[in-house]
Amino acid sequence: MFLGKVVGTVWSTKKSPDLEGVRFLIVHPYDLDHEPTKNVVVVADRLGAGPGETVMCAYGKAARTAIGNQDMSIEAAVVGIVDRVDLTDTKSEELREVARSLGRDNGSR
């Protein structure tokens, strides 16, 4: 799994029949410094995440299980919308601040 920020939506009028009715988002994964990586991932979303929100995403079988169809043609999916991140047992104040900011930066939810 990974954490990332929703930065956009993908619209597609022509797609595989098993993808009909599935919403797709563009997610910018976070690295350990709470900075977006240089990559983006297109993820399926059935939870209703919105732009600017921090989401938890899964790949592969875990993603298809979250969506509810092992035969679906997806590789990644939103499995949670993050409300807050708490870190314990870390001596790094910087890491604790990153966790706090992930929760603060999560849009309107």
- Return all residues near 73 (Cβ < 8 A) that are at least 6 apart: 16, 18, 19
Domains of the chain: 2-104 (2.40.50.220)
The one-digit pLDDT tens for each residue of the chain (109 residues) are: 999 999 999 998 888 888 888 899 999 998 766 555 678 999 999 999 999 999 999 999 999 998 888 888 899 999 999 998 776 666 667 666 766 676 555 554 4
Of 5, 13, 16, 9, nearest to 39 (Cα)? 5
Give the whole-angstrom CA distance, residue 54 versus residue 63: 17
- Name, in order, each residue with C-beta under 8 angstroms of 36's C-beta and a sequence gap of 6 or more: 4, 5, 7, 28, 29, 30
